[in-house]
């Protein structure tokens, strides 16, 4: 295992990241890119990456551009040459790693959903609040907030362009587990993932819609379904796009999470909403779509066309009314001044670069980044209300407050 003995520089934030798979690779791309994309007073340095399998994490360190690697996340926290801990592990370890990192005086970026339970999330919020008193910052990684079109959507709504919000309509559809022979990976096990489509992709549309509208979900009526109850146990190479591929019938295990979740909701600003999250929508690969209808107009965002917004303005002359396409590539659109000339599009990975940019800037300027752990707890409370409603036969269920009234 290699180490780096270079002395600390005041303008550097030395990052230790735990996890190296899908999200680890996405975060690595962002940490690697953020310094060159944005003119930041504080630079990120990819100091240490952690994973349980030494050969795999060594390969990841070399491929993704990290200075050193370790197989013990505690080393990431104990080293005095690490300033930021980036948690990219399955949800069952978020709380333990993040709380320990905050207690050790490290800034923490934690992937979503924040935890596997409300109790864990509340403990993380308490740890973040205690660390905040010493200038230690924490943030949850809801990266879709950092898509320029989503940030522009929020600006238009906040400025009153669509008036009073009436409807929120959100779906997030995937199909990567449609095959019943797809193996029982960690995302299909409640003890590791917390929930299925609900927490994995439903959390995104919950956070995104609350972010763009400025309204919080106060109550839900929900149902969930698990279409395939048992799956083959995974091979060592199984991942997000794995298949069993065994000639002989493999041993199976029980799927303990939802495959799909649907719910109705009310928001505290008076809007009503519908949400659907499914990993069984065959033909949909990463189909996140949000439509907001107001008293003066409507806005639509589709992740598979992430450089665009659709905008219906009822103030336009009748003969000119219709959904207009706004190409979000101008320098005065959120984040876009860092990239290419107008008309040159960006992609999924840029949302993570923007996330790191905002996190670094918050640390450097001494402000609290968003979404905070408290914001992420509120999303966790919505997930919990959805699960409880579904368990009780879709009964209307209030969302518990994140803070005591």
Kindly report, residue by residue over 320-360, the tens digit of the pLDDT: 999 999 999 999 999 999 999 999 999 999 999 999 999 99
Same domain flag for 92 and 193 = no
pLDDT confidence of residue 4? 39
Give, in order, the Cα–Cα distances in Å from 289 to each of 163, 164, 235, 303: 21, 20, 34, 6
The phi and psi torsions of 46 (rounded to 5 degrees) equal -80, 85
Find the Cα–Cα–Cα–Cα dihedral 293, 298, 302, 305, rounded to 10°: 180
Domain count of the chain? 2
Query: Rounded CA gap, 38 and 22, in Å?
Result: 24
Task: Look at residues 143, 159, 186 and tell me which one is the last residue of a structural domain.
Answer: 143
Q: What is the largest CA-CA distance in the chain?
A: 68
Same domain flag for 270 and 317 = yes
Same domain flag for 79 and 150 = no
pLDDT confidence of residue 237? 53
In a domain, 153, yes or no: yes
Same domain flag for 328 and 193 = yes
Same domain flag for 249 and 344 = yes
In a domain, 3, yes or no: no
In a domain, 6, yes or no: no
pLDDT confidence of residue 6? 36
Token pair for 103: 């207690």
Same domain flag for 275 and 393 = yes
Non-local (6+) Cβ contacts of 243 within 8 A are 179, 181, 182, 183
Same domain flag for 155 and 16 = no
In a domain, 351, yes or no: yes
In a domain, 216, yes or no: yes
Find the Cα–Cα–Cα–Cα dihedral 122, 125, 126, 131, rounded to 10°: 160
Same domain flag for 68 and 165 = no
> The CATH number of the domain where 30 resides is what?
3.40.50.720
In a domain, 79, yes or no: yes
Q: What are the b/e assignments for 92-105, b being 16+ CB within 10 Å?
A: bbbbbbbbbbbebe
Same domain flag for 63 and 138 = yes
Task: Look at residues 143, 171, 204 and tell me which one is the last residue of a structural domain.
Answer: 143
Domain residue limits at 363:
146-397
Residues of the chain with pLDDT under 70: 1-10, 236-249, 405
Same domain flag for 114 and 47 = yes
Per-residue pLDDT reduced to its tens digit, 184-239: 999 999 999 999 999 999 999 999 999 999 999 999 999 999 999 999 998 765 55
pLDDT confidence of residue 243? 45
Give, in order, the Cα–Cα distances in Å from 228 to each of 183, 234, 285, 362, 399: 11, 15, 19, 44, 29
Task: Look at residues 127, 143, 159 and tell me which one is the last residue of a structural domain.
Answer: 143
Query: How many H helices and E strands in the chain?
Result: 11, 17
> The CATH number of the domain where 157 resides is what?
3.30.360.10
Same domain flag for 229 and 116 = no
In a domain, 94, yes or no: yes
Q: Among 282, 167, 147, 280, which residue's Cα sits nearest to residue 215?
A: 167
In a domain, 304, yes or no: yes
pLDDT confidence of residue 249? 64
> pTM value?
0.94
Same domain flag for 391 and 255 = yes
């Amino acid at each position: 295992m290699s180490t780096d003995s270079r002395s600390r520089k005041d303008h550097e934030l030395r990052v230790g990241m735990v996890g190296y798979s899908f999200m680890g690779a996405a975060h690595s791309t962002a940490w690697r890119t953020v310094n060159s994309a944005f003119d930041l007073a504080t630079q990120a340095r990819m100091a240490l990456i952690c994973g349980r399998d030494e050969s795999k994490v060594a390969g990841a360190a070399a491929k993704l551009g990290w200075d050193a690697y370790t197989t013990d996340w505690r080393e990431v926290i104990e080293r005095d040459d690490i300033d930021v801990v980036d948690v990219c592990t399955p949800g069952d370890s978020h709380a333990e790693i993040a709380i320990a990192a905050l207690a050790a005086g490290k800034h923490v970026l934690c992937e979503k959903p924040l935890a596997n339970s409300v109790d864990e999330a509340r403990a993380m919020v308490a740890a973040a609040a205690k660390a905040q008193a010493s200038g230690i910052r924490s943030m949850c990684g809801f990266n879709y907030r950092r898509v320029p079109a989503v940030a522009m959507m929020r600006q238009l709504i906040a400025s009153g362009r669509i008036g009073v919000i009436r409807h929120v309509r959100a779906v997030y559809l995937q199909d990567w587990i449609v095959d019943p022979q797809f193996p029982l990976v960690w995302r299909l096990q409640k003890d590791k993932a917390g929930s299925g489509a609900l927490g994995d992709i439903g959390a995104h549309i919950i956070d995104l819609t609350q972010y763009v509208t400025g309204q919080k979900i106060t109550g839900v009526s929900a149902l969930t379904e698990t279409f395939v109850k048992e799956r083959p146990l995974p091979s060592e190479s199984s991942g997000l796009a794995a298949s069993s591929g065994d000639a002989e019938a493999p041993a199976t295990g029980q799927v303990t999470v939802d495959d799909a979740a649907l719910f109705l909701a009310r928001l505290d600003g008076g809007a009503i909403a519908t949400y659907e999250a499914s990993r069984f929508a065959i033909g949909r690969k990463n189909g996140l779509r949000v439509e907001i209808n107001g008293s003066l107009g409507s806005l639509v965002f589709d992740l598979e066309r992430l450089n665009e917004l659709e905008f219906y303005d009822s103030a336009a002359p009748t003969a000119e009314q219709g959904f207009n396409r706004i190409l979000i590539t101008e320098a005065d659109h959120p984040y876009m001044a860092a990239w290419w000339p107008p008309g040159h599009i960006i992609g999924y990975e840029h949302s993570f670069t923007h996330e790191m940019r905002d996190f670094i800037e918050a640390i450097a300027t001494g402000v609290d980044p968003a979404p905070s752990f408290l914001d992420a707890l509120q999303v966790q409370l919505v997930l919990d209300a959805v699960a409880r409603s579904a368990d009780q036969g879709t009964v209307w269920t209030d969302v518990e407050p994140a803070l005591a009234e």
